[in-house]
Amino acid sequence: MRFWFRIVGILSVGVLLGSSHLAKGQKLSHFAQYYLIPHAINPSFTGIEDYLDLKAGVRLSTLTRDVTTNGASQPQNYFVAANFSIRPPEKINPAFKSLRISNPSAAANFANAVYQERFIQRHGIGVTFSRRDIGGYENTTGLLSYALHVPIWEEISASLGISSGVVQSVLKAGEYNIFDENDPIYVDLVNNQGNIFSADLNAGINVYHPNFYVGYAMNQLLRGTFFNATEGDSSATAINYFTHTGQLGVQFLITPDFELQLSGVVNQSPDLGFTYTGGVKLQYHDALTFGVGYRNEGAITGYIGLLSDYRFTVAYSFDYIIPTVTASQYLFGSHEVVLGLTLNNRLYKPPYFW
Protein backbone atom coordinates (compact mmCIF):
# COMPACT_ATOMS: atom_id res chain seq x y z
CA MET A 1 0.00 0.00 0.00
CA ARG A 2 2.84 2.39 0.81
CA PHE A 3 4.31 1.65 -2.57
CA TRP A 4 1.02 2.59 -4.29
CA PHE A 5 0.90 5.93 -2.47
CA ARG A 6 4.47 6.69 -3.48
CA ILE A 7 3.67 6.06 -7.14
CA VAL A 8 0.57 8.25 -6.99
CA GLY A 9 2.67 10.99 -5.41
CA ILE A 10 5.24 10.82 -8.21
CA LEU A 11 2.55 10.99 -10.89
CA SER A 12 0.92 13.93 -9.11
CA VAL A 13 4.08 15.95 -9.70
CA GLY A 14 3.21 15.92 -13.40
CA VAL A 15 -0.19 17.37 -12.56
CA LEU A 16 1.25 20.13 -10.36
CA LEU A 17 3.78 21.11 -13.03
CA GLY A 18 1.02 21.69 -15.60
CA SER A 19 -0.15 25.25 -16.11
CA SER A 20 -3.71 26.43 -15.66
CA HIS A 21 -4.02 26.92 -19.43
CA LEU A 22 -6.04 24.26 -21.19
CA ALA A 23 -5.65 22.74 -24.60
CA LYS A 24 -6.88 19.61 -26.25
CA GLY A 25 -4.29 16.82 -26.16
CA GLN A 26 -3.68 13.96 -28.54
CA LYS A 27 -4.62 10.30 -28.29
CA LEU A 28 -2.50 7.58 -29.86
CA SER A 29 -5.61 5.62 -30.80
CA HIS A 30 -5.43 7.37 -34.18
CA PHE A 31 -2.49 5.05 -34.94
CA ALA A 32 -3.71 2.11 -37.00
CA GLN A 33 -1.50 -0.24 -34.96
CA TYR A 34 -2.94 0.90 -31.60
CA TYR A 35 -2.87 -2.71 -30.37
CA LEU A 36 0.96 -2.55 -30.17
CA ILE A 37 0.87 0.34 -27.66
CA PRO A 38 -2.19 -0.31 -25.45
CA HIS A 39 -0.68 1.37 -22.37
CA ALA A 40 -0.34 4.65 -24.30
CA ILE A 41 -4.15 4.70 -24.66
CA ASN A 42 -5.14 3.09 -21.37
CA PRO A 43 -2.60 3.26 -18.49
CA SER A 44 -3.97 0.10 -16.86
CA PHE A 45 -2.17 -1.92 -19.57
CA THR A 46 1.21 -0.67 -18.30
CA GLY A 47 3.56 -3.50 -17.31
CA ILE A 48 1.17 -6.25 -18.32
CA GLU A 49 4.09 -8.27 -19.68
CA ASP A 50 6.95 -9.61 -17.54
CA TYR A 51 9.59 -8.01 -19.75
CA LEU A 52 10.72 -4.61 -20.95
CA ASP A 53 8.76 -3.66 -24.06
CA LEU A 54 10.15 -0.86 -26.25
CA LYS A 55 8.24 0.57 -29.21
CA ALA A 56 8.80 3.42 -31.67
CA GLY A 57 6.52 4.41 -34.53
CA VAL A 58 5.92 6.95 -37.25
CA ARG A 59 2.77 7.76 -39.20
CA LEU A 60 2.99 9.86 -42.37
CA SER A 61 -0.10 10.97 -44.29
CA THR A 62 -0.07 11.31 -48.06
CA LEU A 63 -1.89 14.40 -49.33
CA THR A 64 -3.80 14.58 -52.58
CA ARG A 65 -2.10 16.29 -55.52
CA ASP A 66 -4.36 19.37 -55.34
CA VAL A 67 -3.50 20.00 -51.69
CA THR A 68 0.22 19.40 -52.27
CA THR A 69 0.38 21.96 -55.09
CA ASN A 70 -1.14 24.54 -52.73
CA GLY A 71 1.87 24.23 -50.44
CA ALA A 72 0.26 22.24 -47.61
CA SER A 73 2.66 20.27 -45.41
CA GLN A 74 2.41 16.52 -44.79
CA PRO A 75 0.78 15.54 -41.44
CA GLN A 76 3.28 13.63 -39.31
CA ASN A 77 2.95 11.61 -36.10
CA TYR A 78 5.69 10.03 -33.99
CA PHE A 79 5.88 8.14 -30.70
CA VAL A 80 8.41 6.39 -28.47
CA ALA A 81 7.06 4.20 -25.66
CA ALA A 82 8.38 1.78 -23.04
CA ASN A 83 6.72 -0.21 -20.28
CA PHE A 84 7.81 -3.02 -18.01
CA SER A 85 7.05 -4.97 -14.84
CA ILE A 86 8.90 -3.46 -11.91
CA ARG A 87 8.42 -6.53 -9.70
CA PRO A 88 9.33 -9.42 -11.98
CA PRO A 89 8.98 -12.95 -10.56
CA GLU A 90 12.12 -14.11 -8.77
CA LYS A 91 12.18 -17.59 -10.22
CA ILE A 92 15.17 -19.16 -11.91
CA ASN A 93 14.01 -21.17 -14.90
CA PRO A 94 15.87 -22.15 -18.03
CA ALA A 95 14.93 -20.35 -21.22
CA PHE A 96 12.49 -22.38 -23.27
CA LYS A 97 14.78 -22.79 -26.26
CA SER A 98 17.65 -24.12 -24.12
CA LEU A 99 15.59 -26.65 -22.12
CA ARG A 100 17.10 -30.14 -22.28
CA ILE A 101 15.47 -32.80 -20.09
CA SER A 102 15.38 -36.56 -19.74
CA ASN A 103 12.48 -36.63 -17.27
CA PRO A 104 9.17 -36.02 -19.14
CA SER A 105 7.44 -34.76 -15.99
CA ALA A 106 9.90 -31.86 -15.85
CA ALA A 107 8.28 -30.39 -18.96
CA ALA A 108 4.94 -30.16 -17.16
CA ASN A 109 6.63 -28.54 -14.17
CA PHE A 110 8.25 -25.98 -16.46
CA ALA A 111 4.92 -25.19 -18.12
CA ASN A 112 3.38 -24.68 -14.67
CA ALA A 113 6.20 -22.28 -13.77
CA VAL A 114 5.44 -20.25 -16.88
CA TYR A 115 1.79 -20.13 -15.83
CA GLN A 116 2.61 -19.05 -12.27
CA GLU A 117 5.01 -16.31 -13.40
CA ARG A 118 2.42 -14.72 -15.62
CA PHE A 119 -0.46 -14.69 -13.15
CA ILE A 120 0.79 -13.07 -9.96
CA GLN A 121 0.22 -9.64 -8.47
CA ARG A 122 2.70 -7.15 -9.91
CA HIS A 123 3.24 -3.49 -10.69
CA GLY A 124 4.05 -1.85 -14.00
CA ILE A 125 5.59 1.44 -15.00
CA GLY A 126 5.82 3.08 -18.40
CA VAL A 127 6.69 6.22 -20.28
CA THR A 128 5.38 7.60 -23.57
CA PHE A 129 6.52 10.52 -25.72
CA SER A 130 4.51 11.50 -28.78
CA ARG A 131 4.41 14.33 -31.28
CA ARG A 132 1.87 15.36 -33.89
CA ASP A 133 2.46 17.97 -36.61
CA ILE A 134 -0.48 19.12 -38.71
CA GLY A 135 0.24 22.20 -40.79
CA GLY A 136 0.79 25.11 -38.44
CA TYR A 137 -0.16 23.13 -35.31
CA GLU A 138 2.21 21.01 -33.21
CA ASN A 139 1.31 18.87 -30.20
CA THR A 140 3.93 17.16 -28.00
CA THR A 141 3.03 14.92 -25.05
CA GLY A 142 5.11 13.22 -22.36
CA LEU A 143 3.41 10.79 -19.95
CA LEU A 144 4.50 8.61 -17.04
CA SER A 145 2.15 5.71 -16.27
CA TYR A 146 1.66 3.19 -13.47
CA ALA A 147 -0.59 0.12 -13.08
CA LEU A 148 -1.34 -2.48 -10.43
CA HIS A 149 -2.14 -6.00 -11.75
CA VAL A 150 -4.07 -8.46 -9.56
CA PRO A 151 -5.12 -12.06 -10.38
CA ILE A 152 -8.87 -12.63 -10.18
CA TRP A 153 -9.53 -16.25 -11.08
CA GLU A 154 -7.35 -18.84 -12.80
CA GLU A 155 -5.95 -17.09 -15.88
CA ILE A 156 -8.04 -13.91 -15.55
CA SER A 157 -6.44 -10.79 -14.10
CA ALA A 158 -7.49 -7.17 -13.58
CA SER A 159 -5.50 -3.96 -13.47
CA LEU A 160 -5.95 -0.32 -12.50
CA GLY A 161 -3.76 2.38 -13.97
CA ILE A 162 -3.06 6.09 -13.96
CA SER A 163 -0.87 8.30 -16.14
CA SER A 164 0.17 11.91 -15.82
CA GLY A 165 2.36 14.29 -17.75
CA VAL A 166 2.68 17.49 -19.71
CA VAL A 167 1.28 18.56 -23.10
CA GLN A 168 2.74 21.34 -25.24
CA SER A 169 0.64 22.88 -28.00
CA VAL A 170 2.22 25.26 -30.52
CA LEU A 171 0.55 27.36 -33.21
CA LYS A 172 2.99 28.61 -35.87
CA ALA A 173 2.26 32.13 -37.03
CA GLY A 174 1.52 32.55 -40.73
CA GLU A 175 0.97 28.83 -41.43
CA TYR A 176 -2.80 28.67 -41.05
CA ASN A 177 -6.06 30.23 -42.18
CA ILE A 178 -8.61 31.38 -39.57
CA PHE A 179 -12.25 30.43 -40.13
CA ASP A 180 -13.51 31.30 -36.64
CA GLU A 181 -11.56 33.79 -34.54
CA ASN A 182 -13.74 32.93 -31.52
CA ASP A 183 -12.71 29.28 -31.53
CA PRO A 184 -11.80 28.58 -27.85
CA ILE A 185 -8.63 26.61 -28.59
CA TYR A 186 -7.40 29.23 -31.06
CA VAL A 187 -8.16 32.09 -28.62
CA ASP A 188 -6.28 30.31 -25.83
CA LEU A 189 -3.24 29.78 -28.07
CA VAL A 190 -3.19 33.37 -29.30
CA ASN A 191 -3.47 34.72 -25.76
CA ASN A 192 -0.36 32.72 -24.86
CA GLN A 193 1.75 33.71 -27.88
CA GLY A 194 0.94 30.47 -29.65
CA ASN A 195 2.58 28.23 -27.02
CA ILE A 196 0.67 26.45 -24.25
CA PHE A 197 1.90 23.99 -21.61
CA SER A 198 -0.81 22.06 -19.78
CA ALA A 199 -1.09 19.07 -17.46
CA ASP A 200 -2.58 15.76 -18.52
CA LEU A 201 -4.17 13.03 -16.42
CA ASN A 202 -5.66 9.69 -17.51
CA ALA A 203 -7.07 6.71 -15.62
CA GLY A 204 -8.14 3.25 -16.74
CA ILE A 205 -9.22 -0.26 -15.80
CA ASN A 206 -8.67 -3.51 -17.63
CA VAL A 207 -9.62 -7.21 -17.38
CA TYR A 208 -7.53 -9.65 -19.39
CA HIS A 209 -6.82 -13.29 -20.18
CA PRO A 210 -4.38 -14.90 -22.65
CA ASN A 211 -7.24 -15.02 -25.16
CA PHE A 212 -9.14 -11.78 -24.52
CA TYR A 213 -8.94 -8.31 -23.00
CA VAL A 214 -11.41 -5.50 -22.33
CA GLY A 215 -10.43 -2.07 -21.05
CA TYR A 216 -11.92 1.35 -20.34
CA ALA A 217 -10.15 4.68 -19.83
CA MET A 218 -11.05 8.29 -19.14
CA ASN A 219 -8.57 10.57 -20.88
CA GLN A 220 -7.75 14.26 -20.67
CA LEU A 221 -9.16 14.57 -17.15
CA LEU A 222 -7.43 17.92 -16.62
CA ARG A 223 -8.51 19.46 -19.91
CA GLY A 224 -11.37 21.27 -18.16
CA THR A 225 -13.97 23.25 -20.07
CA PHE A 226 -13.97 25.69 -22.99
CA PHE A 227 -16.83 27.96 -24.05
CA ASN A 228 -18.02 28.22 -27.63
CA ALA A 229 -18.46 32.00 -27.58
CA THR A 230 -16.66 35.09 -26.31
CA GLU A 231 -16.57 35.89 -22.60
CA GLY A 232 -19.77 37.49 -21.33
CA ASP A 233 -21.92 36.15 -24.15
CA SER A 234 -25.08 34.73 -22.56
CA SER A 235 -25.38 32.22 -25.42
CA ALA A 236 -22.09 30.55 -24.54
CA THR A 237 -22.27 26.84 -23.75
CA ALA A 238 -19.62 24.71 -22.09
CA ILE A 239 -17.55 22.27 -24.12
CA ASN A 240 -16.11 19.49 -21.97
CA TYR A 241 -13.03 17.80 -23.44
CA PHE A 242 -13.08 14.65 -21.30
CA THR A 243 -12.85 11.62 -23.58
CA HIS A 244 -13.88 8.00 -23.03
CA THR A 245 -11.95 5.14 -24.62
CA GLY A 246 -12.78 1.44 -24.78
CA GLN A 247 -10.53 -1.41 -25.95
CA LEU A 248 -11.55 -4.95 -26.79
CA GLY A 249 -9.70 -7.94 -28.21
CA VAL A 250 -10.23 -11.69 -28.55
CA GLN A 251 -8.35 -14.47 -30.31
CA PHE A 252 -9.17 -18.06 -31.33
CA LEU A 253 -6.95 -20.93 -32.38
CA ILE A 254 -8.52 -21.99 -35.68
CA THR A 255 -5.79 -24.47 -36.74
CA PRO A 256 -2.58 -25.68 -35.07
CA ASP A 257 -0.74 -23.05 -37.10
CA PHE A 258 -3.09 -20.04 -37.21
CA GLU A 259 -4.90 -17.84 -34.71
CA LEU A 260 -7.75 -15.51 -35.63
CA GLN A 261 -7.49 -12.17 -33.81
CA LEU A 262 -10.20 -9.52 -33.49
CA SER A 263 -9.56 -6.14 -31.85
CA GLY A 264 -10.98 -2.65 -31.71
CA VAL A 265 -10.96 0.77 -30.04
CA VAL A 266 -13.95 3.06 -29.51
CA ASN A 267 -13.76 6.74 -28.53
CA GLN A 268 -16.34 9.24 -27.39
CA SER A 269 -15.18 12.87 -27.41
CA PRO A 270 -16.99 16.23 -27.70
CA ASP A 271 -15.05 17.33 -30.78
CA LEU A 272 -15.19 14.12 -32.85
CA GLY A 273 -18.22 12.44 -31.31
CA PHE A 274 -18.31 8.63 -31.44
CA THR A 275 -15.54 6.99 -33.46
CA TYR A 276 -14.36 3.42 -33.72
CA THR A 277 -11.63 1.32 -35.28
CA GLY A 278 -11.72 -2.46 -35.75
CA GLY A 279 -9.40 -5.06 -37.19
CA VAL A 280 -9.35 -8.73 -38.18
CA LYS A 281 -5.98 -10.47 -38.39
CA LEU A 282 -4.44 -13.90 -38.78
CA GLN A 283 -1.29 -14.81 -36.89
CA TYR A 284 1.00 -17.64 -37.92
CA HIS A 285 3.00 -19.33 -35.11
CA ASP A 286 3.24 -16.15 -32.98
CA ALA A 287 5.47 -14.74 -35.72
CA LEU A 288 3.73 -13.43 -38.85
CA THR A 289 0.56 -11.33 -38.65
CA PHE A 290 -1.53 -9.93 -41.50
CA GLY A 291 -5.04 -8.55 -41.73
CA VAL A 292 -7.42 -5.69 -42.52
CA GLY A 293 -9.19 -3.02 -40.51
CA TYR A 294 -11.80 -0.27 -40.83
CA ARG A 295 -12.28 3.20 -39.31
CA ASN A 296 -15.74 4.73 -39.27
CA GLU A 297 -14.09 8.03 -40.26
CA GLY A 298 -13.70 6.54 -43.73
CA ALA A 299 -10.51 4.49 -43.96
CA ILE A 300 -9.65 0.87 -44.79
CA THR A 301 -6.41 -0.45 -43.30
CA GLY A 302 -4.06 -3.24 -44.32
CA TYR A 303 -1.65 -4.73 -41.74
CA ILE A 304 1.45 -6.89 -41.84
CA GLY A 305 3.84 -7.56 -38.98
CA LEU A 306 6.69 -9.86 -37.99
CA LEU A 307 7.81 -10.94 -34.51
CA SER A 308 11.30 -12.48 -34.67
CA ASP A 309 12.69 -14.69 -31.91
CA TYR A 310 10.10 -13.23 -29.48
CA ARG A 311 12.31 -10.15 -29.38
CA PHE A 312 12.14 -7.96 -32.49
CA THR A 313 8.95 -6.51 -33.96
CA VAL A 314 8.60 -4.92 -37.40
CA ALA A 315 5.10 -3.87 -38.45
CA TYR A 316 3.61 -1.85 -41.30
CA SER A 317 0.13 -0.62 -42.12
CA PHE A 318 -1.51 1.58 -44.71
CA ASP A 319 -4.76 3.52 -44.33
CA TYR A 320 -6.60 4.06 -47.58
CA ILE A 321 -9.12 6.90 -47.48
CA ILE A 322 -12.43 5.89 -49.06
CA PRO A 323 -13.12 8.24 -52.03
CA THR A 324 -16.71 8.95 -50.96
CA VAL A 325 -15.75 10.64 -47.64
CA THR A 326 -14.87 14.32 -47.28
CA ALA A 327 -11.32 13.60 -46.09
CA SER A 328 -10.49 12.10 -49.49
CA GLN A 329 -10.40 15.64 -50.89
CA TYR A 330 -7.26 16.26 -48.85
CA LEU A 331 -5.78 12.85 -47.94
CA PHE A 332 -5.00 9.84 -50.08
CA GLY A 333 -3.84 7.64 -47.20
CA SER A 334 -1.35 7.16 -44.36
CA HIS A 335 1.74 4.99 -44.03
CA GLU A 336 2.67 3.69 -40.59
CA VAL A 337 5.75 1.81 -39.37
CA VAL A 338 6.30 0.46 -35.85
CA LEU A 339 9.55 -1.08 -34.56
CA GLY A 340 9.75 -2.98 -31.29
CA LEU A 341 12.29 -4.63 -29.01
CA THR A 342 11.68 -6.79 -25.92
CA LEU A 343 14.36 -7.31 -23.27
CA ASN A 344 14.53 -9.81 -20.41
CA ASN A 345 11.90 -12.06 -21.97
CA ARG A 346 13.38 -15.06 -20.18
CA LEU A 347 10.53 -17.45 -20.93
CA TYR A 348 10.13 -16.42 -24.59
CA LYS A 349 6.45 -15.57 -24.10
CA PRO A 350 4.38 -14.05 -26.89
CA PRO A 351 2.69 -10.71 -26.10
CA TYR A 352 -0.88 -10.43 -24.87
CA PHE A 353 -1.82 -7.93 -27.54
CA TRP A 354 -2.45 -8.25 -31.21
Average pLDDT (324-330) is 71
Write the pLDDT tens digit of every residue in 10-39.
333 333 333 333 334 445 657 888 888 899
Choose between 81 and 138: higher pLDDT. Answer: 81
| pLDDT over threshold 70, residue 109 | no
Q: Confidence band (pLDDT; 50, 70, 90) for 266?
A: very high
One-letter identity of residue 116: Q
pLDDT of residue 59: 93
The pLDDT of residue 344? 84
- Round to whole Å and give the CA distance between 110 and 347: 10
| Domains of the chain with bracketed CATH | 2-343 (2.40.160.40)
> What is the predicted pLDDT for the residue at 1?
43
Which CA distances in Å does 265 have to 33, 97, 243, 283, 294? 11, 35, 13, 20, 11
Entry pTM: 0.76
> 3-state secondary structure string, 10-73?
HHHHHHHHCCCCCCCCCCHHHCCCHHHCHHHHCHHHCCCCCCEEEEEEEEEEEECHHHHHCCCC
Q: What is the pLDDT of residue 221?
A: 83
Q: What is the pLDDT of residues 130-149, one digit of tens each?
A: 998 887 788 899 999 999 99
Is a pLDDT exceeding 90 seen at residue 309? no
38: nearest Cα among 196, 173, 217, 198:
217
- Phi/psi of residue 345, nearest 5 degrees: -85, 75
- pLDDT band at residue 330, thresholds of 50, 70 and 90? confident
Which residues, 6+ apart, have CB-to-CB distance to 342 below 8 Å?
49, 51, 52, 53, 54, 310, 311, 313, 351
Q: Is the pLDDT of residue 98 over 60?
A: no
Question: Does 80 score more than 90 pLDDT?
Answer: yes
Please check whether residue 306 is in contact with residue 20, taking contact to mean a CB–CB distance below 8 angstroms.
no
Which pLDDT value is given to residue 345?
Answer: 81
Q: Give me the count of residues in the chain.
A: 354
> How far, in Å, CA of 36 to CA of 344, rounded?
18
pLDDT per position as a tens digit, 165-212: 998 888 776 656 666 677 666 676 677 667 778 888 999 999 999 899
Q: What is the pLDDT of residue 133?
A: 87
| Helix (H), strand (E), coil (C) string for the chain | CHHHHHHHHHHHHHHHHCCCCCCCCCCHHHCCCHHHCHHHHCHHHCCCCCCEEEEEEEEEEEECHHHHHCCCCCCEEEEEEEEEECCCCCCCCCCHHHCCCCCHHHHHHHHHHHHHHHCCCEEEEEEEEEEEEECCEEEEEEEEEEEEEEEEECCEEEEEEEEEEEEEEEECCCCCCCCCCCCHHHHHHHHCCCEEEEEEEEEEEEEEECCEEEEEEEECCCCCEEECCCCCCCCCCEEECCEEEEEEEEEEECCCCEEEEEEEEEEEECCCEEEEEEEEEEEECCCEEEEEEEECCCEEEEEEEEEECCCEEEEEEEEEECCCCHHHHCEEEEEEEEEEEEECCCCCCCCCCC
**How many percent of the chain have pLDDT more than 70?**
68
pLDDT of 247 higher than 90: yes
